[in-house]
Structures are given as structure tokens and as C-alpha cells.
Amino acid sequence: QQQVKQSPQSLIVQKGGISIINCAYENTAFDYFPWYQQFPGKGPALLIAIRPDVSEKKEGRFTISFNKSAKQFSLHIMDSQPGDSATYFCAAINGKDSSYKLIFGSGTRLLVRP
């Protein structure tokens, strides 16, 4: 119930294309869903996040779509650029849990070809 399942494991997209990464969860107590971006040799960094009371959040070329009934959320990267090549992790957290732990998906390695 604590898992967040992420797919695909890897993704290759041409420059200018749309990258889509999907995540699914079971625990309905989760109330915050962030996406982290990690470049090689660096630690992950928060990219964008959404709460379950909205269905979509957009920041520049990055959009989270959230489907509460299906318990799924996805990251869309529009006009993908080579600089977007990184590993992306979805995550979820139950803010009422005193541990304050993020539950991470297994990650997606994105390669954007020039």
C-alpha cells in the first residue's frame, strides 16, 4: 500500500517531442505528489508538485496531470530538450504521517535526442 509504481523505466524522445512518465499509488492518505529531477552525478531536486485537490499543474514546459479516482498521476514534458535528459522520480507523501517520509517511484531515465 505504501508503494508508488512508476513507468517506463527508460524513455527516449526526439528533441521537440512530448515526454510522458506515469505513476500509480494505492494509499489514499497520500496528500502531496512531487516529481524530482536528477542529473548525473547530482542529488535529486524538486521539479514540480501537486496536491490531490487539483487535476493539473503546469510550470513552463512541465505539467503534472492527476487522476484521483484512478490513483494515477503523470509528468508531461512538452517540447522536450536535450537538457531535460535526466532521471525523473515521482513520489508521494502522507503529510499527517509523523515520519514525513517521501515514498519514491523507481525512476525513469529520460534521454532527449538532438
Partner 1 sequence: DAGITQSPRYKITETGRQVTLMCHQTWSHSYMFWYRQDLGHGLRLIYYSAAADITDKGEVPDGYVVSRSKTENFPLTLESATRSQTSVYFCASSERGVSYEQYFGPGTRLTVT
Interacting residues toward partner 1 by CB under 8 A: 6, 9, 32, 34, 41-46, 49, 89, 93, 95, 98-102, 104-107
Is the CB of 37 or the CB of 63 nearer to partner 1? 37
Shortest CB 30 distance to partner 1, Å:
11
Full DSSP string of 38-107: E-TTS--EEEEEE-TT-SEEEETTEEEEEETTTTEEEEEESS--GGG-EEEEEEEB-TTSTT---EE---
Is the CB of 42 or the CB of 113 nearer to partner 1? 42
Shortest CB 42 distance to partner 1, Å:
6
Shortest CB 21 distance to partner 1, Å:
13
- By C-alpha distance, which of 97, 87, 81, 98 is closest to 14? 81
